[in-house]
Amino acid sequence: MTEQTFSAPLETLRKRVQEATQRLLGDTIGISDDDWYRPSRLPGWSRANVAAHLSANAEALADLVEAARNGRSAPLYVDDESRREGVERGSSLTGLELQIGLDTSAGRLDNALEGVEDWSAPVELRGRTLTLAQVPLARLSEVVVHHLDLDCGFELGRVEPGAARWLLHWALLWHGHDADLPAVRVQSTSGVAAELGEGDELRTVSGPDASLWAWLMGRTPDQAIEGADGLTPALRS
């Protein structure tokens, strides 16, 4: 396993999160109420479930950031039940309410990040201790992966190369201590490389940054990925 360290310009990252959010809102504004309740690419989730989860994630991250700014620690979600409630809330909302929720929750998170002075403050993200500096990258990954899950015309080819590289670094950081993965060397065409998982036989999975990131997030590998036959990391929702 390769220990992963990575940093990106925070203001640039925040801008990328804002841009990704506006791109998502632009793609979903035309979804009808009926189409919101059609299946997404996430098994068992409707598009409305995905949108409600994405809003709940922004609210939870805002709570986490505000707590850290005040010297307190707070989990991203109180428990699995509260996380499920955020997903299921989408079943009772109209398309307009879902759009408003996506927009206002993203704005609240951005405002919380605006007030951060100590980006090194620790935060807990689903059982892992990271820093406030990594929250914008975590949110960027959430927005982009669930934009893909919404199945509303957004595909990997629309992910800007610089953002794709950051997303790959994030996925490598997240999987850096994942003992459930077999030993695998991830090698991107941009030069990013890391060894993950555990085992005696090291496999190499290679491809573009965006494709490798999506694969590490548990999404079906596209044709640009090589060496991943029969190997898909756990789906991250």
Dist. CA 184–CA 205, nearest whole Å: 7
Go through the chain and tell me how many residues it has: 237
Q: Give the model confidence (pLDDT) of 172-217 as tens digits.
A: 998 876 777 889 999 999 999 999 988 889 999 999 999 999 999 9
Which structure tokens are listed for 166? 């950051």
- The CATH number given to whatever domain includes residue 198 is 3.30.1050.20
- The CATH number given to whatever domain includes residue 57 is 1.20.120.450
The residues that bridge with 39 in the sheet, in sequence order, are 46
Give yes or no: residues 28 and 57 share one domain: yes
Point out the domain boundary residue: 109, 138, 154. Answer: 154
Q: Give the model confidence (pLDDT) of 115-174 as tens digits.
A: 999 999 999 887 788 899 999 999 999 999 999 999 999 999 999 999 999 999 999 998
> Which domain does 169 fall in, by range?
162-237
Alpha helices in the chain (DSSP H): 10-28, 33-36, 47-69, 80-88, 95-114, 135-149, 161-174, 209-216
Is 33 inside any structural domain?
yes
Give yes or no: residues 37 and 118 share one domain: yes
Q: What Rg value do the Cα atoms of the chain yield, rounded?
A: 17
Q: Give the model confidence (pLDDT) of 79-125 as tens digits.
A: 677 777 777 887 889 999 999 999 999 999 999 999 999 999 999 88
Is 2 inside any structural domain?
no
Which residues lie closer than 8 Å to 92 by C-beta, 6 or more apart?
none
Point out the domain boundary residue: 123, 154, 185. Answer: 154
Q: Do 25 and 143 meet the contact criterion of CB atoms below 8 Å apart?
A: no
